Amino acid sequence: MAKLYFYYASMNAGKSTNLLQADFNYRERGMRTMLFTAAVDDRFAPGVIASRIGLSAPATAFDAGTDIEALVLAEHNRESLSCVLVDEAQFLSGTQVDQLARLADAHGLPVLAYGLRTDFRGDLFEGSARLLALADALHEIKSVCTCGRKASMNLRVDDEGRPVAHGRQLEIGGNDRYVALCRRHFTEALAG
């Protein structure tokens, strides 16, 4: 039976690297995959999943209006797929997560979704919240805070490196905008 997996972590924990490794493993065995990434995240290039260690792969870009289930089924009917992999899964809508669950349940396609659990305020993203509710398997990818403890929070910083506590949820950035911290240091940083 196929499953819906959610691999979550703080920033810079290697989520995209893990996804690209999983994709490589399927392809190395002669299996076809379909990759998705959020259209809003075009730091490297539109429709590209890229890791900080230099790995990358083309992907289908999704936004809130994308019918992921229809795209996957059209491709699967054209030539059989073995797995669907989604990067930046926090940007999925609840409806899109429901579509991913149907791909696993009704169509027997394993779905591996990778993303952030929480935003810079410590609030769940819509896609992450729905994945936490529906995924058959939850896997935390570990990252490390500057103190050596597990980093589970994403601190947004301004151009001067000062913590940002308010603002819109969606702001794309990497090491220049976000710092992965343990809960204690995240809370202390926001307290000022």
Q: Which residues are catalytic?
A: 88
Q: Are residues 177 and 144 in contact, defined by beta-carbon separation less than 8 angstroms?
A: no
Residues 6 or more apart whose CB falls under 8 angstroms from that of 75 comprise 34, 81
Side chain identity at residue 102, one-letter code: R
Is 16 labelled as part of a ligand binding site?
A: yes
Separation of alpha carbons 158 and 140, rounded Å: 27
Q: Is 41 annotated as a binding residue?
A: no
**178 is known to lie in a ligand binding site:** yes
Q: Which residues have CB under 8 Å from 183's CB, separation 6+?
A: 152, 153
At residue 127, the 3 state secondary structure works out as helix
Q: Does the annotation flag 108 for ligand binding? A: no
Q: Is 94 annotated as a binding residue?
A: no
83 has binding-site annotation? no
Cα separation values, 60 from 23, 33, 46, 111, Å: 14, 11, 9, 15
**Residue 34 annotated in ligand binding:** no
Answer yes or no: is 15 a known binding residue: yes
Residues in binding site: 9-16, 87-90, 145, 147, 178, 182, 185
Summarize the annotated binding site for ATP as residue ranges: 9-16, 87-90
Q: Extract the annotated binding site for substrate.
A: 178
Binding residues for Zn(2+): 145, 147, 182, 185
